[in-house]
Amino acid sequence: MGLPSFKLGTVIRFLVVTVGLGALGSGVWDWLLKPSLTGISRLLLNVTTFGIKTFKDSLYQEIARGLHEQASISMVTLLYSVLPGFILGFVVSRWRHRLRRGTASPSPPPRWLIEAFAGVLVVVAITLLIQGNQLFYINRAVAHSSQLFAITAPYISEESRLTYRSKFAQIASSEDYAALDRELVAVCRAKALKCPSFSIW
């Protein structure tokens, strides 16, 4: 038997509304949220490097390494760092549950222990925010350069391709990255190719 017409109509309306909301959400993300988050990301990069060029250059040295497993390793390490806090939270919640049932001692865990773990969680949360934002920029910068390499590859010689790759691997500062980006963009414009935009920090 087929579905009753009113149920089929409900399903269709649900699908239409879902697709519409998804499209609206995508549009809001592209036009409003994404540019705002990019601006916030740049602000966080400036704040967390304290305006010190050495710290900024270290990010570009990571970019020169291309896409690698450092991001995964960092996130896994931080995840394991957070585990003690979750364990403490579980222990405290179980203690409160048993206290309500009258099966636990009324004396709570030492206050210093709770404050210490809370402090660790705050430090880890801030570290996650900083590293996550840095990795976000590094991945975007690597992806941008990779796209430029792919776009320009058919229009330059093998020697030029190897030279650009070598320059990328030797990037040690934002100036190095910007200089290579200008060279690749110049090739795109000279060949009337579509050139992706990227705001270099």
Q: What is the DSSP letter of 107?
A: P
Q: Which residue has the tokens 């980006």?
A: 181
The better pLDDT of the pair 45, 83 is held by: 45
How many beta carbons lie within 10 A of that of residue 85, not counting itself?
17
Q: What is the pLDDT of residue 184?
A: 96
Residues 6+ apart with CB under 8 A from 152: 164, 184, 187, 188, 191, 193
pLDDT > 50? residue 137? yes
**Of the given ranges (57-66, 122-131, 166-175), which has the lowest mean pLDDT?**
122-131
Compute the 3-state secondary structure of the chain and give helix, strand, coil in percent, each to the nearest 5.
80, 0, 20
pLDDT > 60? residue 79? yes
Query: How far is the C-alpha of 44 from the C-alpha of 59, rounded, in Å?
Result: 13
Using only C-alpha atoms, what is the Rg of the chain?
A: 26
What mean pLDDT, rounded, does the chain reach? 76
Handedness of CA 144, 147, 153, 156 (dihedral sign): negative
Q: What is the pLDDT of residue 127?
A: 76
Q: Where are the domains of the chain?
A: 1-32, 42-190
Is 192 in contact with 160 (CB distance < 8 Å)?
no
Whether this prediction's pTM lies above 0.85 is answered by no
pLDDT in tens, 139-164: 889 999 999 999 999 999 999 999 99
pLDDT in tens, 26-57: 554 455 555 556 667 777 887 877 778 888 89
How many beta carbons lie within 10 A of that of residue 177, not counting itself?
24
Q: What is the pLDDT of residue 158?
A: 94
